[in-house]
Amino acid sequence: MALRQTSVCLVRTSSRIMNLGDPGSGAGKSGGSGGSIRDAGGAFGKMEAAREGEYFHKLQKKQIAEMKKHLADTIKQTEAQLQRHKEQLAELETTQKK
């Protein structure tokens, strides 16, 4: 459930980023400056925008992998706890029958 909600948030963020216009063509639409190279535009601005996009893509991929690992660990711990509870319940039932 949490993974699904996170995926939806990431898609929303990605679509907002994609609607900002031509990357590297000058200052961003949010009112802030992207730095002197990006303000100038041209090939260097586009190259820097591509590097930035690649960085955030890799970061997002890493975060998703970590989230999946955490989710798998949580599932494994929960299943182990469930097994312990079943064993305790069975032991309690045998004790009560005596």
Q: What is the pLDDT of residues 3-14, one digit of tens each?
A: 566 565 655 555
| Residue range(s) defining the domain that contains residue 77 | 2-97
pTM for the structure as a whole: 0.55
**Structural domains in the chain (count):** 1
Q: What share of the chain is helix, strand, coil (3-state, %, to 5)?
A: 80, 0, 20
Entry field: residues in the chain: 98
Give the 3-state secondary structure of residue 25: coil
What is the per-residue pLDDT across 7-63, written as a single tens digit (0 to 9) for each?
656 555 555 555 556 665 655 555 556 677 667 778 888 888 899 999 999 999 999
2-18 and 42-97 helices, crossing angle to 10°: 170
Q: Cα separation of 98 and 94, whole Å?
A: 7
* DSSP 8-state assignment for residue 22: S
